[in-house]
Every structure is written in C-alpha cells, then in structure tokens.
Amino acid sequence: MLSSLLLGATGFFVSSVAFYFTHRVVFHSHRSSIAHRIIFNKYNPLASLARWGRGIHLNHHREHIQSKRRGELEELNMFFPFKVKLFVTAVMTLVFIASAPFAIGMMLFFPFYSYRHTSVHRIWNSGKALKPWMLHHLYHHEKDPTVNHSGTIPFIDKVFGTNKKPPEEWINKNYPNPASSSS
C-alpha cells in the first residue's frame, strides 16, 4: 500500500516536472538558445507539434492581457488535437502496464492542474481573495514570463530556481483587494 502511494506521488511529481520543462523550454525558450534550435529544427519530427503548442500558449498569454484590459473573463480555449490525445494515451498505456500506481499519479496531475489553472483565470477579476499560487501564475502572465514556469505549483519553480514571488508593490497595483496576499 505504501509503495503504491509513493509510486503515485512520484508519478504526480514527474508530470509536474514534465509540464514545467515543456512550459519553460518549448513555450518560452529564446530563439537564440540551443534548446530552441533543437526543438524547432526542421529535422525534428516533433517540431510542428512544438510550434503548434507554442502558438496556443502565446495566444493564451495574449488573451489574458487583452481580457484584463477589457475587464472581461477569458475564453480559455485550450484544446488538444486528436494526434496529441492519441500520443498521450499510448504513452500512458505503456506507463500503466509498467506501473499502474505511477500512471495513476501521472494522470491525477492533469485534472489538478486544470482545476487550479482555470481557477486563476476565472477568479482574478472577481474581487475574491487570490491565493499565493494564483499570484505566482498571474505574475508569469503579466510581468515576467521568464519565471514561474510551473504554472500553479510554486514548489516546482523553487526546485529549479525559477520561482519569483510577486513583489507587494506589483500585487497592490494590479490586485488591490487587501485579502489578495493572504492564505
């Protein structure tokens, strides 16, 4: 039982790290970086998938900024094409065959992250208090896209040295609700 829980927690952590590196390296790498040149190289069979994902992600950033300027909620039109779903299903099937608890831990990351991510983009202009992990994500969107790549899990950014706590001045200017920096 304990080993299954540890395998599940490890699977969750591995998914968190995989998301972090996809977000940091594929979605936010600089054109001059070695990683960018390798990932987007015309000889890389996954380059078109990387370009597609990067485009969707950059639109997500733009949509957040535009929605904030208009004072409206975002659409959050994030979808995955059939080929991506097929690829993920195949990988998860192989992982499940190797270790069901590990695969379940990996799969649990995605609804957890989706819930938190959607919450950030639905609550920021509601007047409700924002939790520190929400401000962590919003700072990445609005101020500095070179930090806070874990999305809504600041611990992962702390592990890889890309965590930046939003300064109080920025929080007070952008989210003046006095409760926004609590809890």
Residues 74-98 have pLDDT tens digits of 766 555 666 667 777 888 899 999 9
Contacts (Cβ under 8 Å, ≥6 apart) of 60: 76, 78
Mean pLDDT, all residues of the chain: 87
Tokens encoding 13:
């952590």
Which DSSP state fits 179? G
Whole-structure pTM value: 0.83
> CB–CB of 157/140 below 8 Å?
no
Q: Does pLDDT of 180 surpass 50?
A: no
- Cβ(16)–Cβ(111) under 8 Å? no
What would the pLDDT profile of 88-133 be if each residue is shown by its tens digit?
788 889 999 999 999 999 889 888 988 888 888 888 777 788 899 9
Per-residue confidence (pLDDT) for residue 153, from 0 to 100: 92
Q: Looking at the predicted structure, is the pLDDT value of residue 31 above 60? A: yes
**What are 129's two structure tokens?**
């208090």
pLDDT band for 144, please (50, 70, 90 cuts): very high
pLDDT at residue 76, as a whole number: 63
Is the dihedral angle over the CA atoms 102, 161, 80, 87 positive or is it negative?
negative
Give the pLDDT confidence score for residue 80 in this predicted structure: 60
